[in-house]
Amino acid sequence: MRRTDLVFLAAALAPVLVLVWVWIAYPLAYEFFQSVHAFDIVKPGTRGDFVGFDNYLGVATSYYFVNSLLVTAAFAAITIPLIISVSLATALVLNEETFASGPMQVLALIPWSIPYVVTGTMFKWIYDANYGILNFLLRQVGLIPEYQAWLTQPWSTMMLLAVAYVWAQYPLPTILFLARLKMMPTDVQEASVIDGAGAFSRFRHVTVTWLRPILQLNVIYQTIMAIAAFDLIYVITSGGPFDFTSTIAFFAYREAFQFFNWGYALALSVIIFVIGLAVVYLYLKALPAVRFR
């Protein structure tokens, strides 16, 4: 590469690199700096004493740390496959050219336009033990003899929370899948039909192969979102019952705004970032390399 090209490339990238530093690198570095200090919440504006990794050690030996990691892993393991499956199925349906495809695309985006707090409140009403529509419908069809307090039972709470989370999250991967499907060359599908491939074979070897870059992108993004999930958990379950839905992000909130232990909260925030970074790295190493075409 010629020197003039290098100068032009550096000049073109400089504004972006400055923005990256200002909006990403600097806040992360400052957060880590704060996480190794102790802060007195009753004296705003004062810098705490340097405590090294005591905050991290305190978090790691706390009563909730291991359980919160397990809850986060279980929540991610439940929600990610559901989101990918629902969004892919929705995208395949929306990709069909019918008179209702336009309105259906608009309807599919509705959950994305609703704030998480509103979504959480809506689902909390649906799951209510006294007047929730879930109990009403299940009793009408004879699946339950009487109204159930769903949000007081650990696994039912986890599964119903996952349903609400999937409903709120699936529009974005649906859009990405649909955009990729619209780019698929028609001759690829036609050639597979001529070769005698069945519907399932075409889906597995043609459609899924074509969607693989977006599939990997969605899996990585949804993993990060699941690790950092907080809004719906706070509104629907408040981490209960018995901390069964208390993820590591939820405990970061509790340390900051309930226990007023800012050092622990900042340490948890850094840990969440490191976990997300490690998971993304493992994904990129484990999944086969793909290219957009």
| Cβ-contact 71, 247 below 8 angstroms | yes
- By C-alpha distance, which of 67, 62, 57, 61 is closest to 247? 67
Please give the tally of structural domains in the chain: 1
- C-alpha to C-alpha distances, 20 to 7, 24, 27, 225, 242, nearest whole angstrom: 20, 5, 10, 21, 40
The answer as to whether 259 is a domain residue is yes
Looking at residue 233, its pLDDT comes to 95
The answer as to whether 9 is a domain residue is no
Residue type, 70: L
Distance CA 284, CA 278 (A): 10
Average pLDDT over residues 189-215: 76
The answer as to whether 184 is a domain residue is yes
The parent domain of residue 180 ranges over 65-120+150-286
Looking at residue 291, its pLDDT comes to 52
Half-sphere exposure (CA, 13 Å, Cβ side) for 162? 21
Question: Taking the C-alpha atoms of 198, 201, 202 and 208 in order, what is their torsion angle to the nearest 10 degrees?
Answer: 160
The answer as to whether 94 is a domain residue is yes
The answer as to whether 33 is a domain residue is no
Tell me: pLDDT of 293 over 60: no
φ, ψ of residue 286 in degrees (nearest 5): -80, -40
Tens of pLDDT, residue by residue over 4-48, are 777 788 888 888 888 878 888 888 888 898 888 887 666 665 567
Tell me: pLDDT of 292 over 50: no
Average pLDDT over residues 112-137: 93
The answer as to whether 137 is a domain residue is no
Res. 262 pLDDT band, cuts 50 70 90? confident
User: Two tokens at 179?
Assistant: 């955009």
CATH number at residue 173: 1.10.3720.10
User: Residue 285: how many CB atoms within 10 A of its CB?
Assistant: 7
User: Two tokens at 166?
Assistant: 């999937």
The answer as to whether 200 is a domain residue is yes
User: Two tokens at 132?
Assistant: 């929730």
The residue count of the chain comes to: 293
Tens of pLDDT, residue by residue over 76-111, are 999 999 999 999 999 998 888 776 677 788 888 889
The answer as to whether 31 is a domain residue is no
Tens of pLDDT, residue by residue over 226-235, are 999 999 999 9
- C-alpha to C-alpha distances, 244 to 86, 106, 237, 292, nearest whole angstrom: 25, 35, 9, 40
**What mean pLDDT, rounded, does the chain reach?**
87
